[in-house]
Structure 1
Amino acid sequence: MATIDRQATTLALAHALSAAERGLAVIPLSRTKLPALRSPHRDDPTAPLCHGECGRFGHGVYDASIDPLRIRELFAAAPWATGYGIACGLDPHHLIGIDLDTKSGTDSSAALRELALRHLFTIPETVVVLTPSGGRHVWLSGPPDVVVPNSAGRLAPGIDIRGAGGYLVGPGSRTEHGAYSTAPGTAHLAPAACPPSLLQLLLPPPRTGRHATPASAGQHGQGLVQFVLAAHEGQRNTRLFWAACRAYENGLGPDLTESLVEAAIHTGLTEREARSTITSASRMTRHRP
């Protein structure tokens, strides 16, 4: 059994490195499809919010990288890993995953076809990953100035969306239920651009109320603020951190900070929590290669 596990880990690492060569940031996953490395702060309830600033592994999708050396280090720290996750929403692909599930007797493929007919879009030729349960993951690329959130069943029953802050199980991964693989004829493709009318369906409805965004932040800044405002409990810190990272990467951090803080407070975070998260994002983007 140990030999099989080592082989699975070696194969997962090889697939992960191949994905990274295509610009897809990856993390090691366990057989349960969860990040293979647990949080280094899990036993310290007083530890401040950390997205990797501590320098240790175990921060889930925030560990994701395209750097081969870092990826090898991640897998070396998780020799039990048998798969890898691909972070969504990051440069250069801004990956969006359409997860067509087969559980609970739903026909998610038919639901997607119905949506396509109703909203006049077609799914372009793109990467499709087959899951062990018979489902499919359709890979699409989003525009750099639009933030697509994760959702489960909001688009239609059986259709989950993997967006910013989420990840997709990469092809070649082995799990408790079997292996993930690319559909025939799609492995060589790049993620195709998401059709505009489908993209609109993936975005959360705007919240009511006025939340001013500085004119200097532009449309992208407004989108980041709306992304934070759309957060539900359990997503607030993650969404704020992601939005703040994108703001600093695009040179909008100082201009957008107060608007992001205001939006975060509106979702239920305290001002102290919001500013701490934004400060963490600022530090991480300064040190990111």
Structure 2
Amino acid sequence: MAATDALADVLRQMTGPWTVSDAARELATAGVPVFPCVPGRKRPLTEHGFHDATTDPGQVEAWWRTHPDANLAVPTGATSGMVGVDVDVHAPTDGYEAFERAHRAGLVSGWAFLVSTPSGGMHAYYPATPAQTQRSWQAARAGVDFRGDGGYILVPPSMVSISGAAVGYRVRQINSGSSATLDSDRLREFLDPRPTPPPRTGNDVQRSLDVSRLATWVAARGEGERNRGLFWAACRLAENGAPAPEALDVLAAAASQSGLGEREITATVRSAYRTILPPAGPSSSVQGSSRAADGWFALEATVRPPTPVRGLP
């Protein structure tokens, strides 16, 4: 059974109050590798993060016996056999707009199930493409991230703290038909096309070498200086006029190599750019926007077969 089918089957059963440990045990039994994260947060509790994910019932039982309030996470990509598209709604970006454009282009229509996130965004799950590496990436300008190889994702009934309140991940739609794999490279190119670079000058070559050295330096940071090093490097790029998405592309792989998680990397780079290039006006979340409320999650339901909503199949 595909991991997306196994996960969907377990999520279908969550019609009443389930504990995270119950869900972890059921997923492991169904063959979906799991691991615990810090209660109320997204940071892994295990030493090697998603690399420690397992289906071993004894290990899963021990983890949640020691940390009964731990959140539940699943690695994405070949390890679990499923990938995810993460739609963000942090101002000034509304990822639902980009996701809907991609849906109209036929790039994201084969989802297996949809989950609403505590911040008002959405996770769309797909089967991983067999025998193909699908690396995680961020399209910051579009408000969409892809969780594939090298990533992980929190699943219901995990909860995180939003403005001091505990808010949970919720299953909103499960596809009663067949799901399809996702062409993640094509989706990235659609959401964040890479322009053809102009002919390089001597200054461009020097800048490229400087950026390369910066990335190498970030990758070499050790425990206790990884975040600070990434923040410093991102500030230098911001000061030199590099667009934030470019800085994220340049530094993400290096920071990941040093041991930072993708969400932490994104947050640190964004924080650096806000520090160097503060927004003109106050920033606010788009959580609860009419696009989210009246669009993809228009039908309130814990589990319901998909009904046509704004172009959904």
State which of 95, 98, 101 in structure 2 corresponds to 1:114: 101
Name stretches of at least 5 consecutive residues in structure 1 with no aligned partner: 1-9, 38-56, 206-229, 239-289
Name stretches of at least 5 consecutive residues in structure 2 with no aligned partner: 1-17, 195-250, 260-313
Deviations 1:247-270 (A, max 9, x none): xxxxxxxxxxxxxxxxxxxxxxxx
The corresponding residue for 1:143 is: 129
Root-mean-square deviation (CA), in Å? 3.3
The corresponding residue for 2:255 is: 234
**Letter of the structure 2 residue corresponding to residue 89 of structure 1:** G
The corresponding residue for 1:174 is: 159
Q: In 2, are the aligned partners of 1:99 and 1:161 still within 8 Å (CA)? A: yes
Q: 1:128 to 1:21 in 2, by over 3 A?
A: farther
Q: 1:130 to 1:200 in 2, by over 3 A?
A: same
State which of 52, 57, 60 in structure 2 corresponds to 1:71: 60
State the shift of 1:144 in Å: 2.4
State the shift of 1:130 in Å: 0.9
State the shift of 1:146 in Å: 1.5
1:164 aligns with 2:172: no
The corresponding residue for 1:18 is: 26
The corresponding residue for 2:73 is: 85
The corresponding residue for 1:33 is: 41
How many residue pairs were aligned? 182
Q: Comparing 27-36 with 104-113, which one deviates more in the overlay? A: 27-36
Q: 1:101 to 1:15 in 2, by over 3 A?
A: same
Q: 1:27 to 1:112 in 2, by over 3 A?
A: same
State which of 52, 62, 75 in structure 1 corresponds to 2:51: 62
Q: Secondary structure at the match of 2:133?
A: coil
CA–CA separation in structure 1 for the residues paired with 2:188 and 2:133: 10
Deviations 1:42-83 (A, max 9, x none): xxxxxxxxxxxxxxx5221111111211111222333441x2
State the shift of 1:200 in Å: 3.0
CA–CA separation in structure 2 for the residues paired with 1:185 and 1:122: 15
Q: 1:117 to 1:189 in 2, by over 3 A?
A: closer
Q: 1:122 to 1:12 in 2, by over 3 A?
A: closer
State the shift of 1:169 in Å: 0.6
CA–CA separation in structure 1 for the residues paired with 2:80 and 2:94: 32
State the shift of 1:35 in Å: 3.7
State the shift of 1:19 in Å: 2.2
State the shift of 1:194 in Å: 2.2
State the TM-score, normalizing by the size of structure 1.
Answer: 0.54
Q: 1:144 to 1:12 in 2, by over 3 A?
A: same
The corresponding residue for 1:201 is: 187
